[in-house]
Amino acid sequence: MLISLYIKNYALIDELTVEFNNGLSIITGETGAGKSILLGGLTLILGKRADLSQVKRTEEKCIIEGVFDVANYNLKPLFKSLDLDYDVQTIIRREILPSGKSRAFINDTPVTLESLVKLSQHLIDIHSQYQTQRLTKDDYQFQVIDALAQNKDHLKVFSELLISYKFLQKSLDELKNSKAEMIKEYDYNLFLMKELNEIELESINLEDLESQYEELNNIEVIGEKLSKAKAILNAEDLGTIDQLNIVKQELSKISSYGKAYEAINERITSVGIELNDILVELVDLEESLSSDPQELEQVNGKLKSLNNLFQKHSVIEIGGLVRIKNELKSKINNTESLDDTIAKNEREIPKIEEKLNQISKKIYQNRTKVIPNFVLQLENILIDLGMPNAKFKVELNQLDYFTANGKDSLQFLFMANKGSSFNLLKKAASGGELSRIMLAIKSVLAEYVQLPTIMFDEIDTGVSGEISNKMGEIMRQMSHRMQVFSITHLPQIAAKGDSHFKVFKTDIDNITQTQLKRLNEEERIVEIAQMLGGFNITESAMAHAKQLLN
């Protein structure tokens, strides 16, 4: 229920605050007075896109704010899914900034337009000429029947299963179509995998392997240099170690004469120890040298194989080859398990299909139960709305395939006059007839479903007299179960309201402004009298207005 509406700096509205009650609220006003502006402001807080051209003073921001009582709408789960704070009095605010950007808030939490639309569709249903045309669309017709049939939960489960069903079908088709190609690739991948397995990548250290190759390939040079270095260090009398010992003997004689001499002597001693260690290591290295042409050939072959693999797979390190090996393993495993995956999908699809058939059958049964009473109620209301010969038929047929609405096809057929034949609603009904049919359907729905606030925007176009009186009565009856607004030009409908608002223009400081005013009893009589007879109000018009209100 819409409790209040605040609009500032929007179109011809400078600033406007209005509070609403439950029941039937009537909005009237001269053509061009600004009823469409009021509606435009309302649609902004329902998620319509905004632009700077709608702002009255572009240097100031535009604000539209609505307060809604959502206590009876069971919206806590929706608020939770949108990550919003729930409040029985929910405030929705839209702001259009001077930059042209707009912002939306729900209970002071910034939200996207998508979130705003998801919530607002549970709050207000603005019935315009566009929505009347929706009545001819299959999706809307299904919505009507399913609302009466209470199929909401069934359709939710059906929709989730249908997504899984279609995904599995698509996957199965793709697997079957790609099976031949995958088998061709399998042999090649197996060959590549064999090459990578043979070289035992995980046990190779490329740096060590290259070092080993350099040693084996230069074994003679290494032996020669080691031998020469050893001779230089260890040659008798002329060897470096012997010469160093002589130096050490000389320095030891003066080491007690001062700290500087003592320090240099210790350093010479350390060098001597180090040279002796080096000599021992040179001997060990020389003795460990072994010329093995076969080992050299093996190492060289492994390096060549690695370089070939680097080039073939466009990588420069062992890790890259390991990664490719793992990818190949995954592809091979996928190919080897392809038949199992196909078989698994082929087993799973019939199971889901069986569940879909069971749910779609229940949906069909529920629809079948409510259609006769729906048609009867609809025809009775249409009689009151001046269509005594109108006949309605709802054809529900089962299909052999699944759709988003179950496994049924649905057609609303209509016959306006005796002697005619049933035809599709969009072909058989005029615009005025569609408006009355839509009103009748909303009236039926209101008896079974908790509808949001509904606003009828001149649904009475093209009717008058007793028919308009009946339309007003239907809206009044609907308002016993929900909040109803009617924007109307007809006094018969205006007189049915529990409250009456007038939209009008006024000039303030040579600036035209649109305003909205709640009429008291006397003002309401005058307004209806003017709707009956124009601005020159006669006594008979006043009397007629009082009669309508009573």
**For residues 23-50, average pLDDT:** 87
Q: What is the pLDDT of residue 206?
A: 65
Q: Which residue has the higher pLDDT, 135 or 518?
A: 518
State the pLDDT confidence band at 314, using cuts at 50, 70 and 90.
confident
Q: What is the pLDDT of residue 272?
A: 87
What is the rounded average pLDDT for all residues in the chain?
Answer: 86
Residue 301 scores a pLDDT above 70: no
Query: Which residues does 79 contact at the CB level (< 8 Å), separation at least 6?
Result: 85, 86, 119
**For residues 160-164, average pLDDT:** 94
Q: What is the pLDDT of residue 351?
A: 94
pLDDT digits (tens, 9 = 90+) for 380-439: 999 988 889 999 999 999 999 999 999 999 999 999 888 888 999 888 888 888 888 989
Q: What is the pLDDT of residue 537?
A: 83
Reduced DSSP (H G I as helix, E B as strand, rest coil) percent helix, strand, coil of the chain, to 5: 60, 20, 25
- pTM metric for this prediction: 0.68
Q: Are 397 and 409 in contact (CB under 8 A)?
A: yes
Residue 511 scores a pLDDT above 90: no
Residue 439 tokens read as: 């009103």
Residue 162 scores a pLDDT above 90: yes
Query: Which residues does 507 contact at the CB level (< 8 Å), separation at least 6?
Result: 513
Share of the chain above pLDDT 70, in %: 95
157 phi, psi to nearest 5 deg: -65, -45
Q: What is the pLDDT of residue 237?
A: 67
pLDDT digits (tens, 9 = 90+) for 221-237: 877 888 888 888 887 76
Query: What CA–CA distance (Å, rounded) separates 108 from 95?
Result: 12
Q: Are 114 and 90 in contact (CB under 8 A)?
A: no
Q: What is the pLDDT of residue 58?
A: 85
State the pLDDT confidence band at 209, using cuts at 50, 70 and 90.
low
**For residues 262-275, average pLDDT:** 90
HSE on the CB side for 293, CA within 13 Å? 0
State the pLDDT confidence band at 110, using cuts at 50, 70 and 90.
very high
Q: What is the pLDDT of residue 67?
A: 95
| 189 alpha-carbon distance from chain centroid | 39
Q: What is the pLDDT of residue 181?
A: 73
Q: Are 455 and 120 in contact (CB under 8 A)?
A: no
Tracing tokens 């180090």 back to the chain, one arrives at 274
Residue 536 tokens read as: 């020159």
Residue 203 scores a pLDDT above 70: no
Residue 268 scores a pLDDT above 80: yes
Residue 529 scores a pLDDT above 70: yes
Query: What CA–CA distance (Å, rounded) separates 410 from 426?
Result: 14
* Across 17-21, 185-189, 270-274, 524-528, least confident range: 185-189
Query: Could you tell me the domains of the chain?
Result: 1-123+453-463+481-519 (3.40.50.300), 181-336 (no CATH)
Residue type, 147: A
Closest CA to 437 of 450, 448, 424, 449: 424
Q: Are 399 and 407 in contact (CB under 8 A)?
A: yes
State the pLDDT confidence band at 501, using cuts at 50, 70 and 90.
very high
